[in-house]
Amino acid sequence: MLQNVYNLEFPPHVNELNIGGYVFRRSSDYSDAFGKMQHLVNSSGSEHKTVVQTGSHQITATVEIPDVEQQAVLMWADQEPKRILDVLLLLSIFTGRNVFVKNWEEDEGVAILQDHRQHHFGGELILSLPTESRWRHRHEGTLHTEKEIQGKPLWDYDQLNIGFEKGLNNVLDLISSKDWQKTYEGGYFLFLYRQAIQRQILETSFIVSWSIWEHLFTLHNKNWLDESSIQKMGGKEKITFVYNKYLGSPSQVSSEIEPLAKARNRIIHYGIKPTGTDNDSMERFVRMTERLMAIILGLRPSYVLDGVERLRKTLNGRL
């Protein structure tokens, strides 16, 4: 069975993706549909040109649904979820757009509730996927390694990142494993993460990210702390524990955790952050959440965007 897919952006020159046994293929009008989605920059350096525009939902692919589907491993999305929902969730958080299937008929009058806009956050997780290049001959269609095309005219080849498909399948295998499922109790925080990276006010992304960290603290400590003790423990201590477990020494961020904890409490109880709270520190916390997700999903976290931000601040300080 074939179903249409909204908003799936393929890696340049990649026409087909097999993720978890679901085969996604570009739609026949992919180039036109891709051009009608939201784009935030003007670009002419990739396979398709982009123009800054609001855009809209677009059917960019079809997916071949197996006759017999496995049950989803992320059991939070539906009453009887199938594995396609796991795959769509991963595609959404690793492409920066909300990817979903069209599983209704035209005459049903369905109103699409998903946001068509590109995600505001999530870039560091996306960049954490390893890349692996192959070169496809434009006329023969054959795939080659970089070594095999040395000395040949590069204009005869298109570069493909086959690491995207491999990386997503590795992530899917990991979250499907018994150990991962037992440790993270079904991975509900991945749904929270998808909400945290949506285009919205910073306070919302920050609070949802904070909830993810506290949720992870509970998963790792509920066997020896009762519910009352967990609820009474301060957020600063919980964030420090998770940071120390996954990202490094808490001394590296200790000076930032206290004001972030105050910002969290102020937003929760009064709906607005404290006067003087640095937006950049709240953004960095969301970026740290992206790195946290990368580690939990078996990837090496990228620090590219954080490095760009530090460089910007350094340059601004010298001007």
Quick one: 69 and 167 in the same domain? yes
- Let me know if 239 is exposed, middle or buried by CB neighbors in 10 A (0-12, 13-18, 19+): buried
Quick one: 128 and 257 in the same domain? no
The verdict on residue 194 lying in a domain is: no
pLDDT tens, the chain, 319 aa long = 899 999 999 999 999 999 999 999 999 999 999 999 999 999 887 789 899 999 999 999 999 999 999 999 998 867 789 999 999 999 999 999 999 999 888 777 788 999 999 999 999 999 999 999 999 999 999 999 999 999 999 889 999 999 999 999 999 999 999 999 999 999 999 999 999 999 999 999 999 999 999 999 999 999 999 999 999 998 889 999 999 999 876 555 666 788 888 889 899 998 888 777 778 889 989 999 999 999 999 999 988 776 545 544 544 444 4
**Are 283 and 310 in contact, with CB atoms under 8 Å apart?**
no
Quick one: 136 and 271 in the same domain? no
φ and ψ at residue 78, rounded to 5 degrees: -160, 170
Quick one: 163 and 76 in the same domain? yes
Quick one: 149 and 16 in the same domain? yes
| Full residue range of the structural domain in which residue 26 is found | 2-104+117-176
The verdict on residue 191 lying in a domain is: no
CA distances from 152 to 14, 136, 139 (A): 21, 12, 14
Quick one: 126 and 55 in the same domain? yes
Amino acid (one-letter) located at 2 = L
The verdict on residue 188 lying in a domain is: no
Q: Report, in angstroms and rounded to the nearest whole number, the Rg of the chain calculated over CA atoms.
A: 21
List 17's β-bridge partners, or say none.
Answer: 24
